[in-house]
Structure formats: structure tokens, C-alpha cells
Amino acid sequence: METDDQLAGLYRGIILEHNKAPHFFEKRPEARYVVEAFNPLCGDKFRLYLDIEQEVIARATFHGYGCAVSKASASVLMTKIQGLPLADLAELLQRFLEAVARGESPALDTDTAAFAVARNFPGRERCATLAWNSLLTFARDVK
């Protein structure tokens, strides 16, 4: 069972900041690609809006609703992929997902490291990886 101190630690720092003021939080139904991210177990639901130009993610935004962890994680994801070559997308996503699954700080940066603790909280790992998994499915299909 989660203790109050453990839960407080999970929501500190990066997660609280990105939940309160998410980056690239904008509905754009006119985007070239719209990726659905939905967790039926908890009801978190986001749409990821992507424009790709010359094999580079020119613009990425998201919109929807979910817990602090899933919203903050989607915000960090959108920040990471702005201007990213499409060829590098799957690798970035896979490194993050593997690190969260192992409960290790991802070898990306401090923003993504905040989500490694999610593995210690049943159900929160899915929240932390929701947008990343959905985008990985898209990345594999778009090739």
C-alpha cells in the first residue's frame, strides 16, 4: 500500500509543474495526425496532435484529461519531440518505456527521470507511459 510520503514524492517537482502548466497543451483537430491515448482502467484520455514535415516532427501538442501523472508525462513527451527527426522517435520512446518498466531513472534527463518512480505504485506505471505507448504504436505504423 502506498504511504502518504511515497505519494507526495511521486507528485513533487516535475510532475506537479507539468500538471499545473502543461507544455504544448492545445487542441488541434486540423493536425495531420491525431493519435488517441486512452486508459480504460482509469479513464485518462488524451489526443496527441502531430504535424510532420520532411521527416521531422514540426509541431506536437496534446489535449484531454487524466491524472497528474498522465498529464505531466504527456507534457514532457510533447516537449521532447518538438523538432525531433521521425527516425529517432521510436528509440526515444522505447528508452523511456524500458526505464519506467525497470523503475530506473531514464537516461534522458531530469524531466523524464521523475516518472521512473511510477513503477513503485500499482496502476501509475500505465499513467506515466500512456501517451508514450500510444505514440510508439503510431511511430511503428507510420514507417
pLDDT tens, position by position, 51-82: 999 999 999 999 999 999 999 999 999 999 99
- CATH number of the domain residue 39 falls in: 3.90.1010.10
Q: How many other β-carbons are positioned within 10 Å of the β-carbon of residue 138?
A: 19
- DSSP letter at 66 equals -
Total domains in the fold of the chain: 1
What is the extent of the structural domain holding 84? 4-142
Report the first-to-last Cα separation within the chain, whole angstroms.
Answer: 42
Round to whole Å and give the CA distance between 10 and 51.
Answer: 32
Q: Are 57 and 83 in contact (CB under 8 A)?
A: yes
Q: pTM (2 decimals)?
A: 0.88
Instruction: Please give the pLDDT value at position 84.
Output: 97
